Structures are given as C-alpha cells and as structure tokens.
Structure 1
Amino acid sequence: MKFNKTHFHSLFAIIIFIGIFAMNSDSGIINRVYAFSRQGVLLNLIYEDSSAFSPDGPVIIYQNEKIVRYQVISDDGKISTITQEIKKGDSLYCYVDATSDIFKFKLQDTLLVEDAEFPMPEKILAISDIEGNFRGLKMILQGNKIIDEKFNWIFGNNHLVLVGDFFDRGLNVTECLWLIYKLEYESMKVGGKVHFLLGNHELMNLKGQLKYLRNKYKVNADSLNLDYSEWYSQNSELGRWLRTKNSIEKIGSILFVHAGINKNFPKEFSLQEINDSIRKCVDIEFDKDQQRSNVFIGSVSPLWYRGIAKQEETQYDVENTLLHFKADKMIIGHTIVDEIKYLYNQKVIDIDLYHRNNSDRGEMHALWIEDGKFYSIDNYGVKSAIY
C-alpha cells in the first residue's frame, strides 16, 4: 500500500492524541484536541469540516423600526431560506435537524441585566460546555424533568445553571440558545430561574473571533445574505440577550464561573462590577496583546483561567478567593475532566465533561445540588457521589 500524505497525517494525529491523553490521564484532565474551520485543524493537521447548508434556528435582526427574521428551514426535505418582517408577539420556531424536534417560542418584551447574587433554591442542575450539542442538552434536561417532551419548563421554582461555552464546535448552537432563551422566560413566570453565564466561546463569538466556527454557519450566513457578525450584534435579539448575561454569579454560598478566579484577580471588584466590566469589554476593540492581558477577558480572567482546574494554586489561595466573595464552593467548567470531580478538598467542583462523546454513547452527566449535597446525575436521573 502506498503510504501517502493523508495516511501520515492520520497516523501522526493518533500518536499525538495518545501522548496528550497519557500526559493528562493521571490528573483526570482531558485536553480538547479538535477545532474546526472551513478546512479544519486537528493539532495543525488537515481535518475536513463536512458540515454544510442546513436548517437552523431563526436570526432576529432589528432594522430601523422593523424586526426581521432570517432563517434556514427544511420544508419536505428541501432546504431553503426565509427573510420576513415579523412582529414582537409572533410565534417563532426551531426545527432541530439533529433530533427532528420542533419547539416554539416568542420574543421577550424586555431584556434586563441579570443580578449577580441569588438565594439558594431547593434544587439546582448545573452543566457547562455544551458547545452546540442539542441532543446532549435535551437528554440531560428531559431525563431530569427540567423540561417536558415539548421542551416546556417543568422544574418549578428550582434553578438551572449553564456555566458557559454553549457556542462553537457543535452544529446546533442557535437552537441551544433559543431553547435557553425560552426556558429563561418560562422559569421566571413560576419562580424558577435559568442562569446563563458567559464563557470564553460566548465572548469570542460576540467579538467576531471565529476560530472554532463550523462551516455550516458560514454557508448559512452566505445563503441568508446576512454576515455571521450580525447574528450576535447589538442589532440582533440573541446579541442583545447575551449582553445582559453575567460571567460569575453566587447562588447561596456557591460561586459559579466558567473558568475560575485567579488568586491574583483584583480584590477591589464586587461580583456585579466584574460582570459589568466583562459586558463592557464585549464591544471594545482590543489588539491581541491588549485582550490577552486584560484582567476581565484575558488569558487569566474568569473566562479563560485554567490554573484552578490544573491545580496550580495552593489550598490557601483558593480558600482565600472564596473567603473574599463570602462563598463556600466554586463550580467551574472550561477544562475537561473525565468525570465531575472535587478539587481542593471539596472547595471546587469541575463539571466540564466530554459531552459530545458521552451523548453519542447515549449518556449525559451534570451536577445536581439538593439539601446542601452535591451529586453527579445522569440523563436517567440517577445520582452518584462525587470524588
């Protein structure tokens, strides 16, 4: 057999992947080694992104006094585009081609900036880093009676916490966002709450940094004649909604943050001031060095910092950070672990898992909090101890 360039790339990728896995297996940390572009990159090797023109959730744009819906739809198996003016009270829908599901929703009348602190509810389900995996999100939410088979909120006055990175890598980002948008409104009406926290991938998309954007979205944007940069701009409904979101919140005495709080993070800022500052950074243009060094959105910011997940800080450092925010625990995502796990003598819980692989095997896992106790829970509602 002729050993061509493709064979070499494949073999080299396998060797590198095994090496990375081996280096991290003892710590339980798993590195993401996949990234997609038009001709995607896997450890700088060629990896073709075969995603293409396909159905998606609506993109709602405010144009002067008009509200315009742009959407790629499937009608009797034929994929086409729709551009139409709508009214605020009109019903909108998402058809999710990955699961053949449809759910409906309406635009919210007002979008308000979130509070940063909340009292502890009876129950919390928390999950992070879904990355456009609608199938996995559906599995964990329906399996734990957060939503019913029609995607309606049934979790009462309890809370759902989504700890960032619902963008990129997957092919149903828009549908995931609209489902969260819908559930946020429905939960509020019955005294419950959906907390959607910004992660680094939300920030990247809001700032037009599209390294991990799948080809589907580029093709859909071209077909709709609506540049992807407009999908989450200040003139779009989802863009406006995302700009109301926090990056760090405290529920009861538990801090939720996408990546973690660096021990050297300036202590003079309150939770609300941190969130306000991150929101302001979304629409400020920085060069690479400025952004990388920015305390709120840079490489050691709450959106990007891996030092806690990699246990590069001391027990004292972590407890001192928690003490500053009057918190007992910190829940983080961003850095993949093999299972939901305690760090720092149970002061930190990392909940970022390989959801794509798990959902392909028919399983999903999230963090369940009830009566002051913490569990890993699967998509059948089965709880397990965390170690």
Structure 2
Amino acid sequence: MKKLKISLAVMAGLCILFLLFGLYQVRYNGTYGRFDGSLRYLKYDEANDRFIFFGFLDYQLDGIDGPIVKRLGADSLEMAYVVGEASEKYTVVKSVLPLRDSLQFTVKVDNTDKDKFTVTLRGTPESRPVVYGPQPKLLALSDMEGNFNALYGLLTANGVMTEDYRWNFGNGHVVCNGDFVDRGRNVLACLWLLYELQGQAEQAGGKLHFINGNHEHWNLTAYPKSAHSRLIAFAQAATGIEQPVPAFAELMNDENILVAWLKKQPVMLQIGNKLFVHAGISPEFAKAGWDIEKVNQVFWNSIDGGVENAETELLYDDKLGPLWSRTMVRPYGGKEKLSDAEYASILKTYGVNHLIIGHSIVEEVSTDYNGSLFRIDVQHAEEKFSAQTQGLLFEEGKAFRVNALGERVVLSRVVG
C-alpha cells in the first residue's frame, strides 16, 4: 500500500510538472505539443483569457484581411481579400487582374484606426547584397509578429515613415530582424507595409532590409504551428481546401507575391562592423566556417530550390542554428550561456565588432558582453504609441534605445 501511495504521488507530481510546462509553452508561443492542423493539445484563448485542453480549433474569418496576391501564369494576377463588417458574415472575394508594371492596390488594416495604404507591385524579386559599408543612420527592430499598430508607431515616431506611409528616412537603413509573421492579427498588412517601404527606400537612396527568422521559415515551409487562426481561415476560404495544413501550404506557394519576396530576403546581414541575425550564433555554427554570403546561399538554395543536406540541417538546427540559438542570451538546448571568450571568438570569426539579435525576449532593448551585443526582442505594445514598443537606433557614433513615443536613451558608443 505504501508503494502504491508513493507511485500515485510520483504520477501526480509528473502530471503537475507537465501542466506547468505546458502553461509556460502556451504563454510563450501559443501552442503546446503536436499540431496537425485541426487539433492542438493545449491552446490559450486570448479573447477569453483561458486555456483550452484537447480542443479542436474552429477557424473563422473574423475581420478584414489581405490581399493575397498570386501570379496566374505570365500575364495576370489573382487578388483575394477578406471583406465584410462586424455585424455581418466575413467572406473572401477574388478578382483577376492583368499583370502590368507598377500595379497598385490598397491594403486595409483590421485595427480600430482603420488604417489603409497603397502598395505598388515591383518586378520579380531578386536576392540583394548582404554586406554593406558603415551607414550614418540605422534603425533595427524585431519580432513584431503581425502587430501592425506597434510597427506603425515605431516607424513613424522615429522618422522612418510619415503618418501617410511615405518613406521619410532619406538614405538611412532599416533592418527588420525577423519574426514579423505569426501570432498577430495583421501579418499581411505588416508584410505589405515593409514590402512597400523597401521599394520607396530604394528610390530615396535608403534601404529597408528584411531578415528571415524562424517564424518566416515555418511559413515558407507551410508549417502553420503559430499562425493566427484567421490566416488559416483565410487560406481555407481562398483555396477551397478544408484541411488547414494543405490549405495553408496552397496559400504559401511560390505564386504568392509575398512568399516569393520573402524567399529572396537573407538570414544574416552585415552593415559596417555590425552583424544582424534573428536569433544568435552558436559556437558550433560558427565553427562551420561559413562567411555571410555562404550562410545566405545555403538558405536560398534550400528555401527556393528544395536542397536538403548536412548544411541545411545545421542552418535549421533548432538549438544551434542562427534562426533558433538562444545561448547569447541564456542557457538553451542543454548549452550554457556563452562565455565572454566564446562570444569574442564568434565576433572574430565574422570580422565584426557588434551583433544585433532578436528572438529571445528581454525586458527592454539592451546590451551584453561589454556593450557589443544588442538584444532587441521586447514585448511590443498593442497600441500604436507606447514606450513599451522599442527598437535600436545607430546614429552619430552612438547606439540608442528608442520607442514608439519618439524617446531615445543612449546605450553605448559605437564605431562603424
């Protein structure tokens, strides 16, 4: 009997540990356990502030969204929007348009301000340079995850764009350091805004760089584990495919203009003596000896050409790869936080003085390793203008923590 009581106590303890771990996972990434497209073993219901166990998901169109723009052969496009009002049923409407230079369309945002802006389509996307010289003005932001309000607030408050969505940063550079998709309601609006600003920046002599993170990689490989339910509902309605995963895969195919654009963006970028990467660099990854061009070429070959080999295994390793590694911030994957010597060795490998990373949430944009590492993933606010929404600005030889109120705090001095 005593052994039975002990066994029951152990089992109860294990169950409690499982639930605690599950709650942590849900609060961190919205899901726990296997995702097969229709069932999540544990889900957090944001609207009602509750957890749902073993709940089947019912995907619903719950607001305006889009467009999804796809190429139909060589001379036409299909454009799909979610339209409707809160008082009626939302539906997907499609139209076919002739493909022509500088085709323009409107993006309407599902927020209280009912934002809308115009996008001008560009030609077939091509990969861009991944190494640039020092720049006099550079803003970095990360992990917006479909939060249009925060993105709008940070960009306008820091002079990157005007209130009517025009590039206002001159010849400055902006780096979007990964994870702008998943979780949030307005993923498509965020991507279209960055797509549009990238084109405007080029015309003004500036640059907007987009770095793919682990969530972009999930989306580009049709894995909707953290996709907002409304985007999956959009995929089902637009494709006519009932099963969520196949519907999402069809939505994210190569004819999708945004998908084609994302596939040509890098996973690592150097500007002056600063190296930008979404998550971080592990010693194991650095020891592979790849330069920045090689890192990006492995990504482009795999994401666009379907190449799978030992190189792609390392690139996408969920503990060691640059889309996932967290050991520059904390212990992760059985590895301790990097020592000063390990970190310095990585800087030497890539020939830079500073690293800028997102992926691992910190309380505020801050530095580590004697001011050479900048950590920029914070919990951005839901409203447009808030001190909680933060980015990193390099200007006049200094690094500043900036926010969506236009405030700035000096973090350190930098060169190059």
Does the C-alpha gap of structure 1 residues 361 and 329 become closer, same or farther in structure 2, counting only changes over 3 Å?
Answer: closer
Residue 278 (structure 1) aligns with: 299
State whether structure 2 residue 136 is matched by structure 1 residue 140: no
Match of 1:46 among 44, 52, 62: 52
From the superposition, tell whether residues 291 and 204 of structure 1 become closer, same or farther in structure 2 (CA, over 3 Å).
farther
Determine if the alignment matches structure 1 residue 375 to structure 2 residue 400. Answer: yes
2:28 aligns to what?
32
Question: Cα 1:314–1:354, aligned 2, differ >3 Å: closer, same or farther?
Answer: same
**1:73 equivalent in structure 2:** 83
Question: Partners of 2:383 and 2:359 in 1: how far apart?
Answer: 17
Cα distance 1:360–1:35, how it changes in 2: closer, same or farther (>3 A)? farther
Residue 298 of structure 2 aligns with an amino acid whose one-letter code is S
Q: State the 1:210 CA deviation.
A: 1.2
2:170–2:206 CA contact under 8 A, matched in 1: yes
1:106 matches 2:120 = yes
Shift of 1:281: 2.1
The one-letter code of the counterpart of 2:60 is A
Unmatched 5+ residue regions in structure 2?
1-15, 45-49, 241-246, 332-336
User: Which residue in the other structure is 2:109 paired with?
Assistant: 96
3-state SS in 1 of match to 2:283: coil
Distance 1:371 1:360 in 2: 25
Taking structure 1 as the reference length, what is the TM-score of the superposition? 0.85
Q: Which residue of 2 aligns with 1:349?
A: 374
What is the CA-CA distance between 1:143 and the residue it aligns to? Answer: 1.1
RMSD over aligned CA atoms reads 3.1
Greater Cα radius of gyration, structure 1 or 2: 2
For the residue of structure 2 that corresponds to 1:250, the secondary structure is strand
* TM-score normalised by length of structure 2: 0.79
Equivalence map 1:247-258=2 (5 Å): 247-258=267-278
Residues 200-245 of structure 1, C-alpha deviation per residue, up to 9 Å, x if partnerless?
0000010111111121012112222263223332121111101111
Cα separation, 1, equivalents of 2:122 and 2:268: 23
After superposition, the C-alpha distances for 1:5-52 in whole angstroms (9 at most, x for unaligned) are: xxxxxxx89x949x969xxxxxxxxx8253398666358952787873
Q: How many residues align?
A: 364
- Which sections of structure 1, spanning at least 5 residues, go unmatched? 1-11, 22-30
Structure 2 counterpart of 1:28: none
CA contact (8 A) 1:292 1:298 kept: no
Within 2, Cα distance between the matches of 1:345 and 1:325?
A: 18
What corresponds to 2:341 in structure 1?
316
Q: Is contact 2:400–2:410 with CA below 8 Å preserved after alignment? A: yes
2:208 partner SS: strand
Q: What do residues 330-362 of structure 1 show as CA deviations (whole Å, max 9, x unaligned)?
A: 000000011111111112111000114686967
Alpha-carbon distance between aligned partners in 1 of 2:149 and 2:253, rounded to the nearest angstrom: 27
The answer on 1:165 being equivalent to 2:184 is no
* 1:224-235 alignment, distance < 5 Å: 224-225=238-239, 227-235=247-255
Amino acid in structure 2 at the alignment position of 1:369: F
